[in-house]
Structure 1
Amino acid sequence: MKTLAYMVSVAALLVSSPSASMAQNGLLKFDRNVIDAGTMTEDDAPRTYTFTGRNVSRRTLHITQVKTTCGCTSSTVSSKELKPGAAFKVSVTFTPRRYPGTINTGAFLYLREAAGTPAAKLALTGKVLPGADVWARYPHKMGALRLKQSKVSISEVKPGTQPSARILCGNSGNKALRINSLLLPHYARLSTEPEVLQPGDEADLVITILADKIPSTMPATFSFPVVLEGLDARPSDRTIQVSVSRELLKK
């Protein structure tokens, strides 16, 4: 199964310079800038961690934004106006569901008095183990096939092109899957990469539009269903909706 490796680069930015994170220009100071969240599973409820900071300057400061680095994380701040010497708390909530792997996320705090540059960098570290349902990150279930999404959009379809859209999917069953569609319009193609999905494997479901075969009478924007075959599910439960936006030839 794939993990969120892209979060590692964010973590490096967050924790590479703890001393620099302690304060910017002597404005803020935190009791700690990195919290170890320990080990949890995808099935665990969201957990909230609190960073306590203080205005160590001689002027009133104003928090304009606390920006988290991942959709798995949200944040709140106890006060946005900080008098000199005032303490405040930044609460960072981490939701492990659909985020297995290393926890490397956090929040950037911005001040009106230091516009454009984070005044503090707060980080969470730890580990998330896969939950009981290893396919939970694939919310759309079509028989044994699990998909990240059941709708796709293909835009900027131009004459002479064959643009495509990809849907990450996986075989959650115990038998190999061969996916096709018998009712595709003549200007569309469907394939999987690889062609055969072995049990437990992931793949790309690829929908390709043959721009030159789209009838000239079709509008600039239109949609059509793709009913997948080779799955043990009702047609309505194994249908992908495809929307297309194309460039019409100028007369």
Structure 2
Amino acid sequence: MKFFSLIRIVVFLVGTGLFGALHAQNSPASLQARRDSLLNPSLMKQAERVLRFEKSVQNIGTLTEDDVPVTYRFVCTNVSNRPLLIKRATPTCSCVTVGFDSKELLPGKQQVVNLTFHPKNHPGTIDTHVFVYLSSSDKTPVARLTLTGDVLPGKDEWARFPYSMGKLRLKQNTMTFGEVRTGHRSTERIFCGNSSSKPMQLTAPILPAYVTFHTEPAVIPPGGEGDIVVTVDASLIPVGAKAEFTFPIIIEGVSARPLDRTLNIKVKRIN
């Protein structure tokens, strides 16, 4: 597009007000509003005249990460004059699973929505929601159920890192590059922690030419956390390599057998 043609289009948009409208749609305030509408959608109008819960907020008190999952009952009544069907109940946190009867709820009858809270790996203040949708209101929730409370750290402060390489604790022991585009660089991370009493500096001296490795920070202090960062440069992958392939990275700087300090890297290339 020629420069002067672009200028004429911008002038036209400004004159008609479309330029400002387009800018407003992508402004930080607009994007935040759209994000909030997804994470905390408005309830159906007059929802209390359709499906009424005895209470919509329950305080779980104080738990620890070592406690077993606990289930909380939310009882609702169909206060409308027509049968209702709960289609789905969407939690805002992976710490909650939901259970409910999928049968039709007749007028005047009650039903229970069970929220099971899983404290493991979820320390801190709890304020999580579940949005309940009817088959007749798939886009607008009829209720918002809330669990509040606190979860204290468990006895094993490293329990949230399920994998270990000696004293190095990791969130995962595999890394997947799902969309490495030809000619581009892609980076993935693994969250890790140093459970030892000494600083930890990790290296990977044996790498394919198309891979780089480092940690952030470069030296992980005792009791500290960081990221293992791996970058794949697709422009350096040898011609003839498969579209999907796997290779290992052996990490130095931890005391363990080579097999026990190996990351498996999976790469899938797309054009």
Give the TM-score of the pair, scaled to structure 2: 0.80
Q: Tell me the C-alpha RMSD between the 2 structures.
A: 2.2
Gaps of 5+ in 2: 1-35
Match of 2:26 in 1: none
| Counterparts in 2 of 1:186 and 1:132: CA distance versus 1, 3 Å | same
Q: Percent identity?
A: 44
Kindly report which structure 2 residues correspond to 1:223-242, keeping only aligned pairs within 5 A, or say none: 223-242=246-265
1:210 aligns with 2:210: no
The residue matched to 2:259 in structure 1 has which SS? helix
Aligned residues: 235
Query: What is the deviation of 1:113?
Result: 2.6
Contact persistence 1:22–1:120 (CA under 8 A): no
Which of residues 83, 87, 109 in structure 2 aligns to 1:64?
87
TM-aligned CA distance change 1:156 to 1:232, over 3 Å? same
- Alpha-carbon shift at residue 157 of structure 1 (Å): 2.9
Q: How far apart are residue 26 of structure 1 and its match?
A: 0.9
Which has the larger strand fraction?
A: 1
Q: In structure 1, which of residues 146, 149, 153 is the aligned counterpart of residue 172 of structure 2?
A: 149
Rounded Cα–Cα distance in structure 2 between residues aligned with 1:122 and 1:31: 11
Distance 1:218 1:79, change over 3 A: closer
Q: Is 1:86 the equivalent of 2:109?
A: yes
Q: What pairs up with 1:38-53 in 2 under 5 angstroms? A: 38-53=61-76
Whether 1:27 and 2:50 are equivalent positions in the alignment is yes
- Please list, as runs of the form range in 1=range in 2, the aligned pairs for 1:66-215 lying within 5 A after superposition: 66-78=89-101, 80-215=103-238
Deviation at 1:25, TM superposition (A): 6.0
1:172–1:200 CA contact under 8 A, matched in 2: yes
Higher helix share: 2
Which structure has the larger Rg? 2
Q: Does the residue aligned with 1:177 lie in a helix, a strand or coil?
A: coil
Q: Secondary structure at the match of 1:236?
A: helix
Partner SS state of residue 47, structure 2: coil
Q: Tell me which of 220, 228, 242 is aligned to 2:243.
A: 220
TM-superposed deviation, 1:96: 0.3
Please tell me whether the aligned partners of residues 179 and 228 of structure 1 are also in contact (alpha carbons under 8 angstroms): yes
* SS of residue matched to 2:49: coil
> How far did 1:106 drift?
2.9
| 3-state DSSP of counterpart to 2:136 | helix
In 2 relative to 1, CA 97–57 (structure 1 residues): closer, same or farther, beyond 3 Å?
A: same
Q: 1:63 and 1:158 mapped to 2: Cα distance?
A: 42
**CA 1:79–1:23 in structure 2 vs 1: closer, same or farther (change >3 Å)?**
farther
**Cα displacement string for residues 29-56 of structure 1 (whole angstroms, at most 9, x for unaligned residues):** 1111000111111000101111111111
Shift of 1:127: 0.7
Q: CA deviation at 1:213?
A: 2.4
Contact 1:21 1:122 in 2 (8 A): no
Deviation at 1:247, TM superposition (A): 4.4
Q: CA deviation at 1:21?
A: 8.4
- Using the alignment, how far apart are the partners of 1:158 and 1:114 within structure 2? 40
Task: Name whichever of 134-143 and 210-219 sits farther off.
Answer: 210-219
Q: 1:22 to 1:199 in 2, by over 3 A?
A: farther
Please state how far the C-alpha of 1:75 moved relative to its aligned partner: 1.3
CA 1:230–1:177 in 2, change beyond 3 Å: closer, same or farther?
same
Separation (CA, whole Å) in 2 of partners of 1:209 and 1:79: 46
Structure of greater relative contact order (alpha carbons < 8 Å, 6+ residues apart): 1
- The whole-number CA distance in structure 1 between the counterparts of 2:236 and 2:218 is 24
**What is the CA distance between 1:159 and its match in structure 2?**
4.6
**Partners of 1:22 and 1:41 in 2: how far apart?**
38
Distance 2:248 2:67 in 1: 36
- Quote how far apart the aligned CAs of 1:210 are: 2.7
* 1:139, distance to aligned residue in structure 2 (A): 0.9
User: With structure 1 as the length reference, what TM-score do the two structures score?
Assistant: 0.86
1:54 corresponding residue in structure 2 = 77
